[in-house]
Copies of this chain bind each other. A is one copy, B any other.
């Protein structure tokens, strides 16, 4: 394993120290591993909290700032944070209008956020609502399973709800909006290579040089199936087809297309993939009106990409375009 670290056990803590030094506009509670806006709590504004395992940078801390999240909790690599962190973060960002937990749908994250909400309810008078984000069509959805994973669409949810929160909307309005953006979104990912979890020190899975994994999760969980290495054009089709099969994206005011890099795939290739994907969408009558291309939800050093499509309407478009100032997404301010 070749990584820029000292001891794998200290990776997250030391990375947060660097993040803290690099971003004066953020505060880091190192004991609790909470990263939050320096001006938190913003009085009268609903606080937005997300977070999850580390290893997905710039998610999650890269999306804290005006127009997006107020705080995130950082877990160990690929491991959900714990309820105490979340409860403490909830307190830190409660500006009197309640706190919305934006939870990526993984069993661990959901259970820990549940317990955090119970803690918060017991210890404070903060009103907490939680919305679970589950956009990954690679996974069969059913009441009797863990359900679909939360992947790239979380960026759209967090950005759009973040903009609405700045407008002073209420907790329940924001929760509804988050659910709506989540419902409007679908994602599908693939991996060219496995990632290497530092504590393990070797790749999570073996993928032969001539095979790729379709339907990969953001923690290097194996996907739907393995197929032979294929040209980008065919890979684009393998990602777009299941997304479009799962939801009709031809209506509304066009879509947001997010082509995400999983860590080790160069932007040069991601733009090429975006070209292939946009061509397929247009052929299917789906109109990209906003685009995001880059490594925003990574899986450590995994090579690969995912595509997320979000159906937009006039309101969502305006909220997407509204100013945002985070280290990961920034415009208008």
On whether the beta carbons of B271 and A18 are closer than 8 Å, the reply is yes
Measured CB to CB, the closest approach of chain B to A199, in angstroms, equals 13
Q: Which of A39-47, A120-128, A144-152, A298-306 lines the interface with chain B?
A: A298-306
Q: Which residues of B contact A288 (CB under 8 A)?
A: 21
Given contacts A4-B235, A267-B295, 12 further A-B contacts (CB under 8 A): A4-B192, A4-B269, A5-B232, A15-B268, A15-B269, A21-B274, A22-B278, A23-B291, A55-B266, A265-B301, A266-B298, A325-B331
On whether the beta carbons of A273 and B4 are closer than 8 Å, the reply is yes
A322 contacts partner chain B, Cβ-Cβ < 8 Å: no
A272 contacts partner chain B, Cβ-Cβ < 8 Å: yes
Interface residues on A, range: 35 or more
Return 10 A-B CB contacts under 8 Å, by A number: A2-B193, A5-B269, A12-B268, A18-B273, A20-B275, A22-B274, A22-B291, A264-B264, A264-B303, A266-B301
Please give the residue numbers on chain A whose beta carbons come within 8 Å of chain B beta carbons, in ascending order: 2-7, 11-12, 14-23, 54-55, 57-58, 62, 77, 192-193, 209, 212, 229, 231-233, 235, 263-276, 278, 288, 291, 293, 295, 298, 300-301, 303, 305, 325, 330-333
Measured CB to CB, the closest approach of chain B to A291, in angstroms, equals 4
A contacts with B: majority SS: mixed
Q: How far apart sit A58 and B6, CA to CA, in the bound complex (Å)?
A: 28
On whether the beta carbons of A11 and B57 are closer than 8 Å, the reply is no
Q: How many copies make up the complex? A: 2
Q: Which residues of B contact A2 (CB under 8 A)?
A: 192-193, 209, 212, 229, 303
Q: Which residues of B contact A229 (CB under 8 A)?
A: 2
On whether the beta carbons of A232 and B331 are closer than 8 Å, the reply is no
Measured CB to CB, the closest approach of chain B to A270, in angstroms, equals 7
Given contacts A5-B231, A58-B267, contact A275 B15 (CB under 8 A): yes
**A-B pairs, 4 with minimum CB distance:** A18-B275, A57-B267, A18-B271, A264-B264
